[in-house]
Amino acid sequence: MSYLLGYNPGTQQWGYPRRGGAQLSGTIIVHTAECAADNVGEDTSAEGCARIIANRADYGSYHRLVDSDSIIDMLPWEYEAWQDSETNNWAVGISAALRTSDWAVMPADRRDRVYRNLAACAADFVRYMAGKGIQVPLRRISGAEARARVPGFCAHGDSGIARSDPGANFDWALFFAYTQAALDGSLSYASESITPLEDELSAGDVAAIIDAVQKMHDVTRDHIPGAVLNKQVPHKDPITGLDDGQTTSLATMAGFFDFQAVQTRLASQSPAVIAAEIDAAGLAAQVRDELVKLLAGK
């Protein structure tokens, strides 16, 4: 399971589905987390930064977070992370757990491994988007292009407001060379990557997920009047908590819990999709609460 779906006791650092019905555009924002790099002994920079993100009271998160020996899957690609206020709805963010100033002073071998791990994340996203029919070129794009949903790689400092990461010393040529090597299958990198989700899910886990989804589906199908399900309700911005001008129906929300569709996705789709289904129990509670409110107000 992605880190923030399994552990996020602070402010929720993600949204799903993405606001306004937005879809991934193939735009990827490159960051540094501005936490100090750990340059002595075992590198725990990413692990420490991940805990800070999960426990923070304000907003700020990524899809992938790396240091010299770890790649942390923070969120599935399809989820919205609070990584760049200007592109959150359609972009993804990958980040190195260091400061922009660290590129010039950290040990060369550790710096090289950070680039390799970032490249592994970038290649994973490029492959993912290719599976959706979108080709992501290995080129740096401008902030204007990122905001226009152009596929490619943008510095957070170019797209974000009052940001400068990943910094003037970030080696884009090396990053793209390693990303191409990762796509070619020739990149070697020292990483304690998170175990693939398929290996973490037991038969009991899958059964529990399906059971939770089935229960929500049965409640929706058998006990909720169609007029209530079709009623339009405000869609709130998950960051501000304010009405963002969009509306949705409870039928749309509850449709996520269709049992047969979930069963099919669990059987045939990617770890990212399965991770979304794991969160179904929590989302089901949100839908149930909304239904209770509407029924009480009838």
Q: How far apart are the first and last CA of the chain?
A: 39
Q: What is the pLDDT of residue 148?
A: 98
Q: What is the pLDDT of residue 199?
A: 37
Tell me: pLDDT of 58 over 90. Answer: yes
Residue type, 100: T
Residue type, 75: L
The residue-averaged pLDDT of 251-267 equals 47
35 phi and psi, to 5 degrees? -105, 150
Please compute, for residue 34, the number of CA atoms within 13 A of its CA located in the half-sphere on the CB side.
9
The residue-averaged pLDDT of 261-266 equals 46
Tell me: pLDDT of 283 over 50. Answer: no
244 phi and psi, to 5 degrees? -95, 10
Tell me: pLDDT of 236 over 60. Answer: no
Domain with CATH 3.40.80.10 in the chain: 3-184
Tell me: pLDDT of 195 over 50. Answer: no
Q: What is the pLDDT of residue 221?
A: 52
CA 181 to chain centre: 24
Q: Say what the alpha-carbon torsion angle 40, 2, 15, 162 is, to the nearest 10 degrees.
A: 20
In degrees, to the nearest 5, what angle opens at C-alpha 170 toward C-alphas 168 and 175?
A: 150
Tell me: pLDDT of 294 over 60. Answer: no
Task: Write out the CATH class of domain 3-184.
Answer: alpha beta
Please tell me the distance from the alpha carbon of residue 298 to that of residue 285, in angstroms, as a whole number: 20
Tell me: pLDDT of 247 over 80. Answer: no
CB 116 within 8 A of CB 189: yes
> Could you read off the pLDDT of 135-167 as tens digits, one per residue?
999 999 999 999 999 999 999 999 999 999 999
The residue-averaged pLDDT of 239-250 equals 55
Contacts for 227 with CB less than 8 Å, ≥ 6 apart: none
Q: Say what the alpha-carbon torsion angle 133, 134, 135, 138 is, to the nearest 10 degrees.
A: -150
Contacts for 189 with CB less than 8 Å, ≥ 6 apart: 113, 116, 117, 119, 120
Q: Using only C-alpha atoms, what is the Rg of the chain?
A: 20
Q: Say what the alpha-carbon torsion angle 129, 131, 132, 138 is, to the nearest 10 degrees.
A: 30
Count of CB atoms situated within 10 Å of the CB of 195 = 10
Please tell me the distance from the alpha carbon of residue 88 to that of residue 20, in angstroms, as a whole number: 11
Q: What is the DSSP letter of 39?
A: -
Q: What is the pLDDT of residue 208?
A: 53
Task: Write down how long the chain is.
Answer: 298
What percent of the residues of the chain are helix, what percent strand, and what percent coil, each to the nearest 5? 45, 15, 40
Please tell me the distance from the alpha carbon of residue 168 to that of residue 165, in angstroms, as a whole number: 8
**Residues of the chain above pLDDT 70, percent:** 63
Please tell me the distance from the alpha carbon of residue 205 to that of residue 221, in angstroms, as a whole number: 24
More confident residue, 256 or 94: 94
> Could you read off the pLDDT of 14-23 as tens digits, one per residue?
999 999 999 9
52-80: buried (b, 16+ CB within 10 Å) or exposed (e) per residue? ebbeeeebbbbbbbbbbbbbbbbbbbbbb
Average pLDDT of the chain to the nearest whole number: 78
Q: What is the pLDDT of residue 41?
A: 75
> Could you read off the pLDDT of 196-233 as tens digits, one per residue?
333 344 445 445 555 555 555 555 555 555 555 566 66
Please compute, for residue 58, the number of CA atoms within 13 A of its CA located in the half-sphere on the CB side.
2
